[in-house]
Each structure stands twice: as C-alpha cells, then as structure tokens.
Copies of this chain bind each other. A is one copy, B any other.
Amino acid sequence: MNALGLVSMRLCAGLMGHRSVVNLPFLRFSSGMTLSQIDEEVAKLLQLKAQLGGDEGKHVFVLKTAKGTRDYNPKQMAIREKVFNIIISCFKRHGAETIDTPVFELKETLTGKYGEDSKLIYDLKDQGGELLSLRYDLTVPFARYLAMNKITNIKRYHIAKVYRRDNPAMTRGRYREFYQCDFDIAGQYDAMIPDAECLKIVYEILNELDLGDFHIKVNDRRILDGMFAVCGVPDEKFRTICSTVDKLDKMAWEDVKKEMVNEKGLSEDVADRIGEYVSMQGGQDLAERLLQDPKLSQNKQACAGLTDMKLLFSYLELFQVTDKVVFDLSLARGLDYYTGVIYEAILSQTIPAPAEQNGADEAGVSVGSVAGGGRYDGLVGMFDPKGRKVPCVGVSIGIERIFSIMEQKAETSSEKVRTTETQVLVASAQKNLLEERLKLTSELWNAGVKAEVLYKKNPKLLSQLQHCEETGIPLVAILGEQELKDGVVKLRNVASREEVDVPRADLVDEIKKRTL
C-alpha cells in the first residue's frame, strides 16, 4: 500500500469509529487514480468527517470554495467592472438588446448539443422534481429561448456564468465556473453581413481592452467538411476528425496525425492529404486560390464555404479589420452545432504559468483563445416542435483569461486600484461629535454625494485620515466646535493636505466640483 492509500485508510478508520451508519458510496480507490481525483476524494472525506462532527464534537469546516471556482475580492471586482463596461458598451454600440436565462436548464435541453464534452455538464441531484443541469454555455439556452418564444429575429448579448466539470487551471484563467459574454444575431439575412459584424465586435473589444497584439482565425465548417470529403475521410468520421484537427493549436502535426491514424482509423495517405490543407493560412487570396483547387472545387460544400469566405473578407475590408483576421484551414472548434463560419481570437502575449498539478501538457502555453464563435443555423430547429430553423451567428468572449491578464497588469502597475467611489469622509478632531458627523453625512447622502463616516463614537483624526489614504478617498469634511459655531466645514484635500473652510451651504457643490 502506498502513502496515499494509507492516508485514505486512516481517514476511513477515523470516520468509521465515530458513528455507526455511514454511507460511503464514493469510496472507489484504484491504482489508476490521478492526483486530482485523489484530491477530490480526500476533500470529500474531509467534508464527510466535518459533517460527522470531527474531533471532540467540534465542527471542523473545510474552509474553501468548490474545486475550480473562486471568489472575487473587491479589487478583482473593480477590474471586472471595467472589463464588463468596455464589452457592454461595444455590444450596445452595435444595437444589441440583452436577455437572461436561468442558471439551470432541463437536463434534456442540453442533451446532444456538445458532442464529446457532454460529460463535463454539472447535473443537479434528483430531489423529487425535474431533472436539471447547470448551463454549459449561453448558446444552447439562447436557442431554447428563441424556439420557446417563437422569436425569429433578434440581436442580443448575454453576460453570465457557465459551468464545466473540466480540469481547472486557475492561474491560467481556466475555471469550472466562468463568465461568458455572448453576442448573437438571429434571423434570415443576406450572407455574411451579420458574420462580419461579429468579427468587427471581437476586433473592437480586444483593441479597447488593450491586451497587446492578437489575431482572429477564421474558417468554415463547410470548407472543413468538403476538405475531409475530398481527402477521403468517411462521412461518419467528419465530426471526430474535426475534434482531432481542433487540437492543432496545442499539439504538433505529427501527434495529430498519429491520433488520426492510430485512434481514429484513417489511413496515412488520407491523414497526409488533410495535413497539406490544414497548413494553409491566408486571406481573401487563399479563398480565391482554393476555389481553383482541382479537388476542393469539385466539392459543393467547400465551394459554398469558400465563396462566402471571399464575401466575408470583402466586408471585413470595409470594416477595416483585415489586418488581424487570418483564414486558417486548421481551425476546427469542438462544438457540434456549428454549420458555417467559425472563428477564434488568440492573444499573442503569454502568461508565465507556475508549475501546476495538472500535467505536463499545460506548461508554457500561451493564454490562447479569448473569444470564439461561429454560425449555427440548425440549433434553434432542434428545439422547435416543427423543426423551423432560425439561422444564427454569434461570438463568445472568454472573460476569465482576460481578467487574469488584467489582474497581473494591475499587480505590477504602480497605480492603485480603488474599490469604492467615496468622495468624502466626514470626520472630526474632537470628541462627542458623533451626532453632528452622522447628521452631516446624511445631508451629503441626501444630496447625492458619496460619503462615509467611521462607525466609532470618538475616532482619532489620524485613523480617519488613514482610512482615506488606504481607500483613496480624496476629501475629508472635518467638523469641530468652532466650525459648527461658524456654520462652516473644514474641507481637507487628502493628497495635498490643504485645508479650507467652506460655508456649510456650499459644501455639496464644492465637493462635487472637486471630485468631477
């Protein structure tokens, strides 16, 4: 028995001795357990131990958030607010409405939408009602919403958390609970116009967030399928080969090829033909060249995709975003529901990831994809009782990785992040002025001034000034017997230490003027 087995056994023995009826259905140890699985089992045992009362009847809590999740502290929230404001104003600039959907859906709603990733869905316990799952993305709930309300035209954004039981890599911004910021256009329109707007939006947002250089890869499911067909991939293997191609951003071609041949059963020949295509990158010119390709040009699907790609680039030209957009035949994207254009935005900068338990395949990788999306013309029809289709195209901004970068930036920067917007602290240098301080604070609140007052009867002036310096409050309104007698308030600038007597009637205006 190894050390870990011993730990588990000890925990079990400790538990068993405590109370007689203990249900341990999850104690399934095997030599094939990963470190992370063992962590989870240990956590569960500790939880159970705490539930049973722990040592000496005292409750022992496991003081942590659930695996792969995190709290946001006020500083992180200030950064988050800034990022959201940039994203939301972009969505609004493009005329989008917003909706919200519940955090859980009927389990059935999510079934059959995510291919191999379905195993990552969080289910709720059956507590005697409907069978429910936490949403895995915002796209499927959006499609369900459209079908349910018979909506055929909408441009909407939706910012909310989604849930995936994935292997977390938190320092690199991969969580089990994370935000998605989705923008989608639903409706029957002329080709490639909404698709181009989605790319324009990604471009605008990444530019405004000021995260350094980036590029946006574009491809089309029809081009991929046509390519697979002319390379000799059997129809039923299109989706699984697509998943393998999708790994090209993390794996070398040689390894991808191995998976195609050894695991997915393609011949070397077929794999090599795919290899030639997926190495191609370009712009409108590449689409034109491939339309002349002797093999691809014979495939209807591929031709439709390539013609649309040309059109897309002509619109991107008008939107002046072609400097960052690359037509890349290796872009595949994992999800089942895409039917046309697909895209993914990648930041050029890398985050130095500290060593993690999650395996060697994680190390030294770039931040990677921060936005992705595509066209999914069939998804709404899957929900409509009569199968009526509503063509859709959209993009999802992967906010967590962006947060990670912004947080690191904020940490290295000398500029202090303020977590409140307080304009003034109402203070006093003398004792027994609590009531006067509360009265003035209330007056300021009523006038719309952001004001604080320390919750002490007789705080020291020094501790009041310290509070301002720590939290970045720029002004102090100081009351004393003399000021009260004179009908003034001493207004102090925290940074410059200048003080000036302001008539009480002018105080609100003076504070507003100084904190514009």
A residues sitting closer than 8 Å to B (CB atoms) are 25-26, 37, 40, 43-44, 47, 50-51, 59-67, 69-74, 77, 80-81, 92-109, 111-112, 122-132, 134, 144-145, 147-149, 154, 156, 161, 163, 165, 177, 185, 187, 189-190, 193-194, 196-197, 200, 204, 315, 318-320, 382-383, 385, 419-422, 434-435, 438-439, 442, 445-446, 448-452, 455-457
Contacts and interface: CB of A to CB of B under 8 A. Distances in A.
B455 A187 contact: yes
B204 A93 contact: no
Contact of A99 (B44, B73, B165, B445): B73
B50 A445 contact: no
Given A97-B77, A451-B95, A130 B71 contact: no
Contacts of A103: 103, 134, 161, 163, 177
A450 B69 contact: no
> How many copies are assembled?
2
B450 A93 contact: yes
Contacts of A189: 455-456
Given A94-B452, A148-B63, A442-B200, A44 B130 contact: yes
Contacts of A107: 47
Given A59-B382, A435-B318, A99 B72 contact: yes
Given A99-B73, A127-B123, A148 B64 contact: yes
Given A125-B124, A190-B455, A97 B419 contact: yes
Nearest to A72: B100
Contact of A124 (B69, B73, B106, B124): B124
Given A71-B102, A438-B315, A204 B445 contact: yes
B442 A320 contact: yes
A101 B446 CA distance: 31
Given A66-B130, A95-B450, A95-B451, 10 more contacts: A40-B130, A47-B131, A51-B111, A61-B383, A63-B148, A66-B102, A69-B102, A96-B420, A125-B125, A190-B457
Nearest to A77: B98
A393 to B, nearest CB: 10
Nearest to A61: B383
Of A72, A107, A112, A456, most buried by chain B (CB within 10 Å of CB) is A72
B383 A70 contact: no
Given A125-B123, A126-B26, A318-B435, A70 B450 contact: no
